[in-house]
Amino acid sequence: MASITFKGSPVTLVGNEVKVGKQAPDFTVLTNSLGEVSLSDLAGKVTIISVIPSIDTGVCDAQTRRFNEEASGLGPVNIYTISADLPFAQARWCGANGIENVETLSDHRDMSFGEAFGVYMKELRLLARAVFVLDPHGKVVYTEYVSEATNHPNYEKAIEAAKSLL
């Protein structure tokens, strides 16, 4: 299991760590309009899943903006930002910040994604910062569990992993 801290304090991650080379586990999250999305809905394209604790914080804001900017040069790649924020908060933030190339998804309802991917921070009921890249068949080709949840992920490595599949 990955070892994560939040502002220097250790947190308990619920679920199993996802490994490169394995099939991604199934999950169900909500769109901004409360529709459901599961792993099968991501099939057919390379997918970057950017996981953040909360969209309304500095690093999470920057991470979502960075992947939104990178999306325009990637071609046929789905990019999702998943957090435990309410879908309405995600929609408000995206609208206010001109985010059009990344789709935000909410794990607020039952933490299905957080538990499936081992990023559910039990003490905070938030998701730990992580990035996953999946091939068009749902196989995991890249993972990064950011060891300190307030730090940035390695954007370049995630983008490189996605580009290597195109």
- Which residues are catalytic, by number? 60
Token pair 């999470």 is found at 60
Q: Are 40 and 23 in contact (CB under 8 A)?
A: no
Is residue 89 within 8 A of residue 112, CB to CB? The reply is no
Among candidate residues 101, 119, 140, the one with its CA nearest the CA of residue 51: 119
The C-alpha angle 49, 53, 144, rounded to 5 degrees, equals: 45
Q: How far apart are CA 37 and CA 27, in angstroms?
A: 8
Degrees to nearest 5, angle at CA 36 with 75 and 82: 55
